[in-house]
């Protein structure tokens, strides 16, 4: 059975996961599913979804200020220029998740992202090219054919910590799909933005 929408104490109906605690409500109401076409913001979401693997999203949300400080506000070029010395420094930083593989992956993926943006015109053009056709939502699934194809292609390009599940969560978070429950107040808002959105093109 599909999880139900819930009625919050403020009178708003939300996706079952997005009502509480307050961190989730703020993220659900203000960010999740809203279309993103800025390359640095897309990179941030990709990195954070990778760090979330094996952890709760709440853990990532509460450390996001630390991640932003540690990784130069996710400026792709600045992250790509980080060194092994930066890795060692960050492994001592309690404001982030101190996982060597994921820290090193972030720097590697920034370098691969620069290459990809040069080829595709922008990261946005690349990622949005995986937007599925049709209006169906897939909140009960962990992957999709599009996320599987995206993950496979990113791996081919040298990206790490981006499997099909991470890729699908990234697509949900960035509005490439609208997976708010239809009963959720945010569904119509996100869909309205998606309807008028000028999709970034890929050459």
Percent of the chain with pLDDT over 90: 91
Q: What is the pLDDT of residue 1?
A: 56
Does some domain include residue 169? yes
Least confident of 6-10, 15-19, 138-142: 138-142
Q: By residue range, what is the domain housing residue 168? A: 6-196
Tell me if residue 57 is catalytic. yes
Does some domain include residue 203? no
What's the whole-number mean pLDDT along residues 91-116? 97
User: Rounded distance, CA 177 to CA 175, Å?
Assistant: 5
Return the CATH number at 104.
1.10.340.30
pTM assigned to the model: 0.94
Model confidence at 136: pLDDT above 90: no
Does some domain include residue 202? no
User: Rounded distance, CA 169 to CA 48, Å?
Assistant: 10
Q: Which of 24, 49, 126, 146 is catalytic?
A: 49
Model confidence at 139: pLDDT above 70: no
b/e 116-135 (16+ beta carbons within 10 angstroms → b): bbeebebbbbbbbebeeeee
Model confidence at 92: pLDDT above 60: yes
Q: Which of 24, 32, 57, 130 is catalytic?
A: 57
Tell me if residue 49 is catalytic. yes
Q: What is the pLDDT of residue 56?
A: 93
Q: What is the pLDDT of residue 2?
A: 60
Does some domain include residue 1? no
Number of domains in the chain: 1
Does some domain include residue 201? no
Reported as a single tens digit per residue, the pLDDT across 145-195 is 999 999 999 999 999 999 999 999 999 999 999 999 999 999 999 999 999
What's the whole-number mean pLDDT along residues 44-48? 98
Reported as a single tens digit per residue, the pLDDT across 10-20 is 999 999 999 99
What's the whole-number mean pLDDT along residues 60-85? 98
Burial class (CB in 10 A: 0-12, 13-18, 19+), 182: exposed
Q: Which of 27, 32, 128, 130 is catalytic?
A: 27
Does some domain include residue 63? yes
């Amino acid at each position: 059975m599909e999880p139900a929408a819930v009625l919050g104490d403020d009178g708003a109906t939300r996706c079952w996961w997005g009502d509480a605690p307050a961190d989730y409500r703020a993220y659900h109401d203000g960010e999740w599913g809203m279309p993103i076409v800025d390359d640095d913001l897309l990179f941030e979401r990709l990195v954070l979804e990778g760090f979330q693997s094996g952890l709760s999203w709440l853990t990532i949300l509460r450390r996001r200020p630390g991640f932003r400080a540690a990784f130069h506000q996710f400026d792709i070029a600045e992250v790509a220029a980080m060194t092994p010395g930066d890795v060692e420094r960050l492994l001592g930083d309690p404001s982030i998740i101190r996982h060597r593989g994921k820290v090193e992956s972030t720097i590697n993926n920034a370098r691969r992202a620069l290459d990809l943006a040069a080829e595709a015109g922008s990261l946005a053009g690349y990622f949005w090219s995986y937007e599925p056709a049709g209006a169906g939502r897939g909140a009960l699934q962990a992957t999709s054919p599009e996320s599987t194809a995206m993950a496979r292609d990113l791996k081919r390009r040298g990206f790490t910590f981006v499997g099909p599940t991470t890729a699908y969560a990234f697509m949900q978070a960035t509005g490439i799909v609208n997976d708010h429950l239809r009963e959720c107040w945010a569904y119509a808002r996100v869909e309205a933005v998606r309807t008028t959105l000028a999709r970034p093109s890929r050459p």
